[in-house]
Structures are given as C-alpha cells and as structure tokens.
A and B are shown apart, each in its own frame.
Chain A
Amino acid sequence: MNTNNLVQEIKEKVRLLIAESYKDFKPGLEKDLKTFLETSAEKLERWTILYANEGINEEELEWLLKSQVDLISLQALQTAGISKIKLNAFKNNILKLIFEIIISFVTKRS
C-alpha cells in the first residue's frame, strides 16, 4: 500500500476544516496540526498499513491516534512548561477528522 499521499491528504483536509469551521482559532490550530503531523507522520503511515492489512481494527486505530495526542501533550509539558501548555489543546474534531481520513484512505484503496 502506498501511503505517500496520506499525510498530504490529511494536511489539506484539516486545513480546509480549520478555514471553514475554526477561523477564530486558526493560528493556534494550524500550529497544533503541524506539530502533530511532523511528529506523527511515520506512525500514521504504519498504523494505516496495519489497519489496511487488518492487523489492527478501527477501534484500535482510534486508540493509537489518541495515544499519539496524549504523548505530544506530555512532550509539550516537558518542553514548554506547565503554564504554557493547555492539555487537550489539539481539538477533538481535528483528531476525529484525521481518523476518518485514514479510514476513507484505506477504504478507497481496498
């Protein structure tokens, strides 16, 4: 399975969502998205392949995606300090969208 376009597809669709629905939060959300994709691209591709090959199911894929958000929150806590970081800053809707994009990415190609 070629996952080269996956991260690009996620980026484009989430940017569109931010522009349409989260205009007021745009700068913060785009930064969160950038951090998430930069630190997670390799994992997103690996989990997508595992999901496509039925190594993990939909629920497990969702669990892993959320664990990545929690891991990034921990990293942020460590580097930025407690006063500068809001845990769960990465909006749930965006995470949900990334999850849906991966599911449809796999469905389209199977």
Chain B
Amino acid sequence: MKHLKQLAFLIALSFITTSCDSTRTALFDSYSYQKTTEIKVEAIKIMDKAAMPYQNHKQEVEALFLEIEKLQEYEKNKPNNEITFAMWQVLSNKEKNLLAGFFKRWESKEVLSPLFIDESKKQILSALDLLIQYEINKDKESKEQLLELINLNS
C-alpha cells in the first residue's frame, strides 16, 4: 500500500512537470515573489523622495537598479519564464514611462512636482502589482494542476 502511494506520488509529480512544460509557464517561485515585493517597497520609498534633488538620492536609486538587474538575470535564465522576464524588461527600460523611466525623468529634471510623483507612483505600483499577481497566479495554477491529478488518482 505504501509503495502504491509512493508510486502515485511519483506519477503525479511527473504529470505536473510534463503539464508545466506543455503550458510553458514557470512554477511559482517564492524567491521571485519576495524579491519583487521588496523592490516594490524600496521603489515607493525612493519615489517619495523625488521632490528633493536627485543627486542626494542617486546612490539609493543605483542600489535599487542593481537589485532589479540581479533579479532580471535570475528571471531570464528560469525555464518557461518569458512573460515575467518581458514584464521586467518593460519596467526597467528607461525609454518606457514606468519604473526606470520615472528615475530617468527625476535625474534629468533634478526635482519632480508632488502631484506628478503621486500620479506616476500609482502607475508604477500598478505595474509592480501586475508582476506580483502574475507570480502568485503561477502558484494557483500549479495547485490546481496538483489537485486535479490527486482527484484523478484517488
């Protein structure tokens, strides 16, 4: 009986792997989730300072982008993870008007107006929330696949 359960578990595991390959979506990754959440919190903290001269906060911005760069590299090399990587590419592109674009503007203008900071912050938070939600949904998706397999095998 014990062997049968182990066998069923192994079959379920192999089904999940095959199934994930076929849908081409990476599994939920707690490291990605945690790092993206940390980057979001850090980004808000720094954006709130954009009414002050950029030069005073340049090091914080650079430290934030180093973290983003590391995470992007990690996401790039994860199998079946093209969408998350593509989303990070948009966020970190200085020519786009989201996260990196905001800091580029701050650097070029030296200070930004409080109302503009509020409005652009809402845009960037929505973008980062999309990334976080996308990662969470990977977990939901893999749980659903697992439950489906358990039900099939019971």
Please say whether chains A and B are actual partners in one complex: yes
Chain A residues at the B interface, C-beta cutoff of 8 Å = 46-47, 50, 55-57, 60, 63-64, 66-71, 73-75, 77-78, 81-82, 87
Interface residues of B in 98-140 (CB under 8 A from A): 98, 101, 105, 113, 115-116, 119-120, 123-124, 126-127, 130-131, 133-134
Residues of A close to B120: CB separation below 8 A: 63-64, 67
Residues of A close to B97: CB separation below 8 A: 63-64, 66-67, 69-70
A56-B119, A71-B123 are known contacts. Are A77 and B96 too (CB-CB below 8 A)? no
Q: Are A64 and B87 in contact (CB under 8 A)?
A: no
Give, as a whole number of angstroms, the nearest-CB distance from B91 to chain A.
8
Tell me if B90 counts as interface (CB < 8 A to partner A).
Answer: yes
Q: Are A87 and B90 in contact (CB under 8 A)?
A: yes
State the majority secondary structure of interface residues on B: helix
Q: Name the one of B86, B96, B119, B131 contacting A64, with C-beta atoms under 8 angstroms.
A: B119
By size class, the interface of chain B is 20 to 34
A70-B90, A73-B90, A77-B86 are known contacts. Are A63 and B105 too (CB-CB below 8 A)? yes
Q: How far is the CA of A22 from the CA of B98 in the complex (A)?
A: 28
A66-B97, A67-B97, A70-B96 are known contacts. Are A47 and B82 too (CB-CB below 8 A)? no
Q: How far is the CA of A46 from the CA of B118 in the complex (A)?
A: 12
Q: Are B113 and A60 in contact (CB under 8 A)?
A: yes
Q: How far is the CA of A81 from the CA of B83 in the complex (A)?
A: 7
Q: Are B82 and A56 in contact (CB under 8 A)?
A: no
Q: How far is the CA of A39 from the CA of B124 in the complex (A)?
A: 15
Counting chain B CB atoms within 10 Å of each CB, the highest count among A46, A64, A69, A70 belongs to A70
